[in-house]
Structure 1
Amino acid sequence: MGKEYLKGLIEEILYIWAEPIDLEDLSAIIYDFNKKDIQRVLDEMIEERNSRESGLIIRKFDKSYQFTTRECHDRYFEKVIKKSEKKLSTSTLETLSIIAYKQPITRAEIDKIRGVNSQSTIDSLMARGLIKENGRLDKIGKPIIYVTTTDFLKYFNITSLEELPEINLDGDDYED
């Protein structure tokens, strides 16, 4: 079982999985190859598909990988695939931005920044898979800590949080 066999196996898994899958999960599935080899072959596959302008490319979202189509081809699929996904409301985007830039963060911290109760907005973001619970603080009441997900990266078409635009969270940009 050589490199070409491994490439085929990775392609099959990415196709069947359909969602981003991380290297740990790939390694658990492809247990007879080591993680380093899988990573090396994945990087090679990404480069090959990009250089030959393959229709299906492998995108990296943080530490996860997924088969996707090229963005420049989206116009060809617009008539075939109807996007029924509702856009995020202003309050939802505001809450999501706070979580993205301040994570890990609790609901109380979000509420303090926004000045309103954010529970329903957080529930909506959780239902859409854009944020997730990431443990609890070791404080009275054990508040839930929230962070963004791989779906957040996909939604905004970025590979990592480092691609978020820089903002000044201190508020020093405003003059009196």
Structure 2
Amino acid sequence: MEDLIATIEALIFASDEPVSIEEISKALAIRVRDVKEALDELYTAYLDKRHGIYLKEYNGRYIFVTKPEYVSVIKEMHQKRITRLTPAALETLAIIAYKQPITRAEIEEIRGVKAEKTLLTLSKYGLIEEMGRKETIGNPIVYGTTEKFLEHFDLTDLSHLPEVLPEDLQIVDDVGEGSYGLAGGEEEELDLFGEDSEELNED
């Protein structure tokens, strides 16, 4: 069992992206149940205070991440590589997170401004992706958030998004369909992800 745990540890550590239980099971030709048991032990082992990282799950996929208490040290070391998302980009990202899958036109209707450049920026940083096309006239592209989005905001899955308060979003009726509009007008910043949400590693 110890060899299996060490092997799975190495697989996850060497991966640039979160790894699923099924991928590990297939790679090692072992049962899913055995992978789950090994992951449980690996998770428990890394909770020890002697470790600066721990095993984190994102949508059923696993990756090693820095423990929260050491994040500030990492940010300080890599300060030159930090960039910031504008309030407009954060606002657009929040809309996509809560309303996905959503088209560019729907985003622009909510925000009241063009969203093409903002969508390109969010795509560049890997926070959103094309999820397909909407079955309507013109078959427009629909957007959604990515695994990297979950990782950056430390969310296990989308069900862990902060609850949207009434003062943050208001219902707007348009041709009989409810859509969300930002309360307070264009000047308001929709901060749904906390004070540190603007900081983002460029890579």
TM-score range, shorter chain: 0.7 to 0.9
Task: Note the C-alpha offset of 1:41.
Answer: 1.6
Higher mean C-alpha displacement, 158-167 vs 6-15: 158-167
CA distance in 1, matches of 2:19, 2:111: 34
Higher mean C-alpha displacement, 43-52 vs 132-141: 43-52
Task: Note the C-alpha offset of 1:152.
Answer: 0.7
Unpaired runs of at least 5, structure 1: none
CA distance in 1, matches of 2:74, 2:90: 27
CA distance in 2, matches of 1:56, 1:144: 38
CA distance in 2, matches of 1:76, 1:170: 39
Q: 1:135 aligns with which of 120, 132, 135?
A: 132
Question: Could you say if the C-alpha distance between residues 149 and 78 of structure 1 is closer, same or farther in structure 2, counting changes exceeding 3 Å?
Answer: closer
Question: Could you say if the C-alpha distance between residues 79 and 102 of structure 1 is closer, same or farther in structure 2, counting changes exceeding 3 Å?
Answer: closer
Residue equivalent to 1:157: 154
* Matching residue's letter, 2:91: E
Higher mean C-alpha displacement, 86-95 vs 16-25: 16-25
Secondary structure (helix, strand or coil) at the match of 2:110 reads helix
Task: Note the C-alpha offset of 1:40.
Answer: 2.6
* Greater relative CO, 1 or 2 (CA 8 Å, sep 6+): 2
Question: Could you say if the C-alpha distance between residues 79 and 130 of structure 1 is closer, same or farther in structure 2, counting changes exceeding 3 Å?
Answer: closer
CA distance in 2, matches of 1:157, 1:86: 18
* Matching residue's letter, 2:15: W
Task: Note the C-alpha offset of 1:83.
Answer: 4.9
Question: Could you say if the C-alpha distance between residues 83 and 21 of structure 1 is closer, same or farther in structure 2, counting changes exceeding 3 Å?
Answer: farther
Q: 1:49 aligns with which of 43, 46, 50?
A: 46
TM-score (norm 2): 0.75
* Matching residue's letter, 1:152: F
CA distance in 1, matches of 2:143, 2:132: 8
Deviations 1:18-44 (A, max 9, x none): 3322333333322x1122321232122
Q: Which has a greater percent of helix?
A: 1
Q: 1:103 aligns with which of 76, 93, 100?
A: 100
* Matching residue's letter, 2:13: Y
Instruction: Give identity over the alignment, percent.
Output: 37
Deviations 1:95-118 (A, max 9, x none): 000000111111111111111111
Deviations 1:61-88 (A, max 9, x none): 2222111221212344455433513111
* Matching residue's letter, 2:58: F
1:26-65 maps to which residues of 2 (within 5 A)? 26-30=24-28, 32-51=29-48, 53-65=50-62
Contact 2:53 2:64 in 1 (8 A): yes
Secondary structure (helix, strand or coil) at the match of 1:159 reads coil
Instruction: Give the paired residue count.
Output: 170
Contact 2:5 2:38 in 1 (8 A): yes
CA distance in 1, matches of 2:15, 2:27: 11
Q: 1:87 aligns with which of 60, 84, 87?
A: 84
Q: Which has a greater percent of strand?
A: 2
CA distance in 1, matches of 2:80, 2:38: 33
Q: 1:118 aligns with which of 115, 119, 139?
A: 115
